[in-house]
């Protein structure tokens, strides 16, 4: 029998990749998007799946509880992947209330709908390494205590515990994937990796002279999004619902990601100075191509993330395959192509 899956947040990076994966597995996919004045399916377009006969695009707002109930009742899916969120940490400091409603309570709306309508529906919650926040263990595992450092992290922690609570209280197959940062050419340009690769492409093409960034010392465990959505899928095919970390077990500073991105177009950088006055110059030309702008600092920062994905490897046979160097080169190459083509997303 054809399986049916709801993917909330189909217009986002992971929503697009997961939709592509589920369609390749012959699912009927119901991808949800929000009504806005100008809805944009550019990611689905890039993957060539927007008009796939097994994809239905459904208008949906995660903050409206009745919308969740009606959607689940009408579609009666086998699986629900809750990827929709206000996912930008920086914005969550300015919009803590709406972030809590979407990113936190939104998950509860779907869990309640499942509890009311059909407890056999499997549920995946997109949890995050941001819940670990302040460093307590290195590397972080499923057993590491949480200490979120942003309204986004707090909202995600609420959704994570609700997922576990519905698993334990009502025997719903509800799994939570604690995913570390995962990037791709489909990443939003507000996130640091894509901001860097897009700017490197623009600098190469003479469209930008200097890239401005915030905290260059933050360390992140960056993987490839296309591989991480496979982990989400595997979690719902497992024999029991559980919580899993997906990560690469390698961490690098933002500064090192900048170096890698410039290196992929054969530019070596020299970083000079520190703190607010740090800059990076092109070693060949002497041009300043990166500078720190404190406006990109956050009120509180997550300094160091590095995850141990061993449980996912043992139970799900999931492991990351793409190196950070390959991922970074892929992103720069795609941004060069798009900037040459005048692509603006
Ligand atoms: P994106 O920001 O690219 O996508 C988020 C999606 O949520 C978009 O489709 C967005 O729609 C949708 N959305 C936002 N608000 C609402 C709402 N009120 N109702 C319905 N839909 C809404 O995120 P990613 O694809 O990168 O991440 C997917 C999920 O995984 C998110 O929950 C994120 O927090 C989480 N996560 C991501 C990680 C990463 O490194 N990428 C790591 C760990 C967790 P619109 O296009 O209209 O804005
Ligand atoms: P993050 O990703 O906050 O880890 O959340 P982001 O790419 O925004 O920041 C990573 C680190 O880079 C530092 N930084 C900058 N960040 C941005 N966006 N822009 C800058 O100019 C800049 N300069 C330095 C940040 O301070 C931070 O330390 C992402 C999101 O996808 C979440 O939804 C997800 O849950 C986590 O990853 C895991």
Which pLDDT does position 39 carry in this prediction?
86
Q: Is the pLDDT of residue 158 over 90?
A: yes
> Which residues constitute the domain of residue 211?
192-217+253-303+328-341
- Closest-CA residue, ligand 1 atom 38, reads 181
Q: Is 195 in the pocket of ligand 2 (CB under 6 A)?
A: yes
pLDDT bracket for residue 345 (50, 70, 90): confident
| pLDDT one-digit tens code per residue, 26-40 | 999 999 999 998 889
Q: Is 297 in the pocket of ligand 2 (CB under 6 A)?
A: no
- Closest-CA residue, ligand 2 atom 27, reads 218
Residue 152 annotated among the catalytic residues of the structure: yes
Q: Quick one: 236 and 114 in the same domain?
A: yes
Q: Quick one: 148 and 289 in the same domain?
A: no
| pLDDT one-digit tens code per residue, 113-129 | 999 999 999 999 999 99
Q: Quick one: 279 and 210 in the same domain?
A: yes
Q: Quick one: 174 and 278 in the same domain?
A: no
Q: In the Cβ-directed half-sphere of 103, how many Cα atoms lie within 13 Å?
A: 26
Q: Quick one: 11 and 55 in the same domain?
A: yes
Q: What is the CATH number of the domain that holds 203?
A: 3.90.25.10
Q: Quick one: 64 and 152 in the same domain?
A: yes
Whether ipTM tops 0.95, in short, is yes
What is the Cα–Cα distance from 315 to 21, expressed in whole angstroms? 20
Q: Quick one: 62 and 123 in the same domain?
A: yes
Q: What is the CATH number of the domain that holds 229?
A: 3.40.50.720
Residue 90 alpha carbon to ligand 2 centre in Å: 7
Q: Of the residues 87, 131, 158, which should be mutated to test ligand 1's pocket, given the most ligand atoms within 8 Å of the CB?
A: 87
Residue 128 annotated among the catalytic residues of the structure: yes
| pLDDT one-digit tens code per residue, 41-73 | 999 999 999 999 999 999 999 999 999 999 999
Evaluate the omega torsion of the peptide bond into residue 311 and state whether it is cis, within 30 degrees of 0: no
Residue 205: partners with Cβ closer than 8 Å, 6 or more residues away: 336, 339, 340
Q: Is 62 in the pocket of ligand 1 (CB under 6 A)?
A: yes
Q: Quick one: 126 and 206 in the same domain?
A: no
Q: Quick one: 273 and 233 in the same domain?
A: no
Domain count, the chain: 2
Which tokens in the block code for residue 76? 């009666």
Residue 164 alpha carbon to ligand 1 centre in Å: 21
Query: Do the Cβ atoms of 324 and 332 come closer than 8 Å?
Result: no
Which of 130, 183, 252, 334 is the catalytic position?
A: 130
Query: Do the Cβ atoms of 30 and 142 come closer than 8 Å?
Result: no
The DSSP H or E segment spanning 314 is helix 310-316
Q: Is 91 in the pocket of ligand 2 (CB under 6 A)?
A: no
Q: Quick one: 334 and 211 in the same domain?
A: yes
Q: Quick one: 147 and 279 in the same domain?
A: no
Which pLDDT does position 224 carry in this prediction?
99
Q: Quick one: 146 and 272 in the same domain?
A: no
Query: Do the Cβ atoms of 126 and 106 come closer than 8 Å?
Result: no
């Amino acid at each position: 029998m054809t399986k049916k899956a709801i993917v909330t947040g189909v217009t986002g990076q992971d929503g697009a990749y997961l939709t592509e994966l589920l369609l390749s597995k012959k699912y009927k996919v119901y991808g949800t998007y929000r009504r806005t004045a100008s809805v944009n399916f550019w990611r689905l377009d890039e993957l060539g799946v927007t008009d796939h006969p097994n994809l239905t695009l459904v208008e949906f707002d995660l903050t409206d509880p009745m919308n969740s109930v009606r959607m689940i009742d009408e579609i009666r899916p086998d699986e629900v992947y809750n990827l929709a969120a206000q996912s930008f940490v920086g914005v969550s400091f300015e919009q803590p209330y709406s972030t809590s409603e979407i990113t936190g309570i939104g998950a509860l709306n779907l869990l309640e709908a499942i509890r009311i309508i059909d407890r056999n529906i499997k549920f995946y919650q997109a949890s995050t390494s941001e819940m670990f926040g302040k460093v307590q263990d290195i590397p972080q595992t499923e057993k590491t205590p949480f200490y979120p450092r942003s309204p986004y992290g707090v909202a995600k922690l609420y959704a994570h515990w609700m997922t576990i609570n519905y698993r334990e209280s009502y025997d719903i197959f509800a799994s939570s994937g604690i995913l570390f940062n995962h990037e791709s050419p489909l990443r939003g340009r507000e996130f640091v990796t894509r901001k860097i690769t897009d700017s490197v492409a623009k600098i190469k093409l003479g469209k930008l002279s200097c890239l401005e960034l915030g905290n260059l010392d933050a360390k992140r465990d960056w993987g490839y999004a296309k591989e991480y959505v496979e982990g989400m899928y595997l979690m719902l095919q497992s024999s029991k619902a559980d919580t899993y970390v997906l990560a690469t077990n390698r961490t690098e500073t933002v500064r090192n990601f900048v170096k890698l991105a410039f290196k992929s177009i054969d530019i070596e950088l020299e970083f000079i100075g520190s703190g607010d006055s740090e800059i990076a110059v092109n070693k060949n030309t002497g041009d300043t191509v990166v500078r720190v702008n404190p406006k990109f600092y956050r009120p509180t920062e997550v300094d160091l993330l590095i995850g141990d994905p061993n449980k996912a490897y043992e139970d799900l046979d999931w492991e990351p395959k793409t190196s950070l160097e390959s991922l970074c080169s892929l992103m720069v190459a795609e941004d060069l192509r798009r900037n040459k083509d005048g692509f603006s997303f």
